[in-house]
Amino acid sequence: MKKKILVIGSLNMDFLIETDKIPAPGETVLGHSVGHIPGGKGANQAYAAGKLDGNVSMIGAVGDDPYGKELIRSLTSAGVDTSGIEVCRDTPTGQAYIALDSSGENSIIVIPGANQSVTPELIQKHMALVDSCDYILTQFEIPLDTVRYVKDLALQKGKRLIVDPAPAVPGLEMDFWEGVSIVKPNETELALLTGQKMSSREDYIEGARSLIGKGAGTVVLTLGKTGCIAVTREKADFYPAHVVKTVDTTAAGDSFTAALAIALSEGADTEKAVSFAQAVCAVVVTRKGAQSSIPARSELKGGDVLSR
C-alpha cells in the first residue's frame, strides 16, 4: 500500500509577469505579458506529489472566490485529496506577483490572504488526515506558530516531517529543528536560518551541520544550477544538477521537496531520492509557471530512477 503524504501549507494564485528585466528599486520597465497560474509553495508540493503518483492530501485555506476554486480544481486534477482545504468567507485567496526575466530569474511578492487562516484549530479540524498520514510536508508561507504546532504534532504522532523553510525567516529558535527528519533550504535560506555568511561548499556544509547539531536528521541543501548537497551527521554528498536550458525556476524547490518525499515514501535511500528529485526539477525549470511546469511521472522516462 502506498504511504500517505500530507502537505500543510499555502495556496496562492500566481500572477506571472514576463519582462526582459526585473525592475530595480525606483525603476519602471515594460513587460510582455501577465497571466495567472495556480501556485503557492504548499499547493505546488501537493500538486507535484500528486503528479508523481503519490497518495496525497492537503490542509490549507483559500478565499471564497474564483481563484480559490481554481486552485482546488488544479489540485484535484493531480489526484490530491482537498477535503482539508478550508474556504474562508471573509479573506481572499493568497496571491503571488512574480516577475520573470528573459534569463529565467524571478522575484516574487506574496500577499498571504487566506493562508493566514491556516491555524492549529484548522489542523485540529482535520486531525484524521494527520493521523492517517506517514509523511508531513510543510513550508513557511503559513503563520510560523502553525508551523511550530505542525512540528510538535508530527513528533508527538511519530510522523516523518519534511520542512522546506521558504520563505526563510531570521531568528527562528534553533530548537525548532529537533526531530525534523529532513530540512530542504536553498543557500540563501540556510544563511538566514543560521545567521552565518556562506560562500563556499565548506561553509554550506558547516551551516547544514549546525541544523543537524540542533536535532535535524538530514539537510538537503539546493544550490540552483550547481546542484545540491545532502548532509548528515556522518557525511556530505554533492550531486551536480542536470544541465538544461532554464526558462523559469518557479516551483523548482517545491517540486524537489515533493519528489524527495515521494521517493523516500517508496523506500528509496537518500542518493536515489535526490536523483529522482533532480530529474523532476530538470523538467520543471524548462517550463514556465508553477503548477503548469510540473511533469507527470510518466513524462520523466529515464529520469524515473525509482522504477529501475
Greatest Cα pair distance, the chain, in angstroms, is 55
Using CB under 6 A, pick the residue from 210, 254, 261, 292 that binds ligand RIB. Answer: 254
Grid cell, residue 269, equals 535511500
Residue 96 sits in the site that holds ligand RIB (CB under 6 A):
yes
User: What b-and-e string marks burial along 9-21, b requiring 16 or more CB atoms within 10 Å of the CB?
Assistant: bbbbbbbbbbbee
Q: Which is nearer to ligand RIB, 108 or 192 (CB)?
A: 108
Using CB under 6 A, pick the residue from 5, 16, 39, 160 that binds ligand RIB. Answer: 39
Residue 44 sits in the site that holds ligand RIB (CB under 6 A):
yes
Question: CB of 52 within 8 A of CB of 280?
Answer: yes
Grid cell, residue 167, equals 520563505
Residue 115 sits in the site that holds ligand RIB (CB under 6 A):
no
Residue 164 sits in the site that holds ligand RIB (CB under 6 A):
no
Residue 275 sits in the site that holds ligand RIB (CB under 6 A):
no
Residue 57 sits in the site that holds ligand RIB (CB under 6 A):
no
Interface mask toward ligand RIB for 122-151; x: CB under 6 A: -------------------x----------
Q: Is 65 a catalytic residue?
A: no
Q: Which candidate in 131, 254, 269, 304 is catalytic?
A: 254
Residue 247 sits in the site that holds ligand RIB (CB under 6 A):
no
Selected range binding ligand RIB among 20-28, 33-41, 49-57, 237-245, rule: CB under 6 A:
33-41
Contacts of 5 (CB under 8 A, 6+ apart): 49, 54, 55, 56, 57, 133, 134, 135, 136, 137, 261, 262, 265
Q: Which is nearer to ligand RIB, 115 or 210 (CB)?
A: 115
Q: Which of 308, 300, 302, 264 is nearest to 52 (CA)?
A: 300
For the bound state, the minimum distance from the C-beta of residue 164 to ligand RIB, rounded and expressed in Å, comes to 9
Residue 63 sits in the site that holds ligand RIB (CB under 6 A):
no
Q: Which of 226, 181, 182, 229 is nearest to 205 (CA)?
A: 229
Q: Which is nearer to ligand RIB, 41 or 126 (CB)?
A: 41
Q: Which is nearer to ligand RIB, 251 or 258 (CB)?
A: 251
Q: Which is nearer to ligand RIB, 61 or 268 (CB)?
A: 61
Catalytic residues, by residue number, are 254
Tell me which residues touch ligand RIB (CB under 6 A): 12, 14, 39-41, 44, 96, 108, 110, 141, 250-251, 253-254, 290
